[in-house]
Amino acid sequence: MPRVSRVSVLQVGRVRVRPDNVAGTWRPMLWWTAFSRAWTGWLPVNVVVVEHDRGVLLVDTGQSRASMEPGYHPGGLLGWAYRRQAEFVVDADDDLAARLAGLGLTPADVDTVVLTHLHQDHAGNVGLLPHARVLVSADELSLLDESRPAAHGVLPEHVAPPSVTFTPVRPTPLSTPVGPFTTGTDLYDDGTLVLLPTPGHSRGSQSLLVRRPDADPLLVVGDLTYDPSLLATERVPGTGATGQQRASTRAVNALVGAEPGLRVIAAHDPAAADRASGGHT
C-alpha cells in the first residue's frame, strides 16, 4: 500500500485571465474575449507533487519556459483569441526543474505524471520528464485526433511531443465508490490515489483524489474551478462546456460532503499551497 509521505504545490509559471473566465457570466465567450479590458491579478500555475513510497507522482507539469519565445502560440485569429484570453510569464525560478530541485528532486525522479487535461499550462513540460508514465484520460487524448486541436486549446507540438507516450485512462467501476463517483481509476487498488472523471473544462478533464495518512485528503481538480470558494454556488468558469462543468461541480461538492476534511486544490488558486499544507480548508 503506497503511503503518501509529502504533498507539495509548486508554482511553475504565472497566468492572468479575464474575470469572465474565472466565473462565467451572461456574456458569451466570444464577447468577453474580444472586448474585456479587465485582467485578474497574476495567478500561479500550480503543479502538485505527491511523494509516496512507490515513487514520485506529479499532477500536471506547469507552463514551459519555451512559451516565452515568439511563435510558441498559434498565429492568426486563433492566436489573437489565445492572447486575449490569457497571459503567461515563466521566470527562471519558476522553471519546473528549478522548482523540483527545491524539493531535492530532479525530473528523472518523476515516475508518474497525471495530466488533468492537455492545455499547455498543464502539459507544457511533459517532454522534460523522460522516465514518467503519463496518464491522460482517453477522452482528452481524442482531442489530438481532431482536425484542429488548437481550436480546443490543445497544442500537440508542445503537449504531445514524439518523445512522450501517453497511457490512456478509461474510468471503470470502482470496487468502493468515492462519494458520488462510481467509476474512476484506483492507481494502486487501495483508495490512496484515485483518478476521477470531471469533464467540462475540456472534454476529458480528470481530478486526482489523494488520501494521506496524517492529513486531510486532497482533490486536485485542475481547471474545474479557479477558486474553490465558487464551487458551493456552482459558479463555473466562462470557458468550457457549462452543463458538464456544473455536473462535475455537483459531483465534487457531493464528494466534499462525503469525504471528511477534503480540500480542493485548483491549478490557478493562489491559496492552493496553503490549503495542501493545512492553512485553509
Interaction of residue 269 with Zn ion, rule CB under 5 A? no
**Site stretch for Zn ion (CB under 5 A), options 16-24, 89-97, 115-123, 211-219:** 115-123
- The amino acid sitting at 230 is L
List the x/- string, 37-76, binding to Zn ion by CB under 5 A.
Answer: ----------------------------------------
**Site stretch for Zn ion (CB under 5 A), options 87-95, 191-199, 208-216, 220-228:** 220-228
Nearer to Zn ion, 119 or 235 (CB): 119
Where residue 105 falls (left for φ over 0; alpha for ψ -120 to 50; beta otherwise) is beta
**Site stretch for Zn ion (CB under 5 A), options 9-17, 39-47, 118-126, 248-256:** 118-126
Which residue from 52, 65, 119, 263 is in contact with Zn ion, where contact means CB under 5 A?
Answer: 119
Nearer to Zn ion, 192 or 202 (CB): 202
Interaction of residue 223 with Zn ion, rule CB under 5 A? yes
Nearer to Zn ion, 99 or 122 (CB): 122
Give the span between the Cα atoms of 271 and 268, in whole angstroms. Answer: 9
From 130, 121, 102, select the one nearest 62 (Cα to Cα): 121
Q: What is the DSSP letter of 31?
A: H
Nearer to Zn ion, 140 or 186 (CB): 140
From 229, 222, 263, select the one nearest 245 (Cα to Cα): 222
- Phi, psi angles (nearest 5°) of residue 199: -70, 165
- Beta-strand ranges (E) seen in 162-255 are 166-169, 172-178, 181-186, 193-197, 206-210, 218-222
Interface residues toward Zn ion, by CB under 5 A: 119, 223
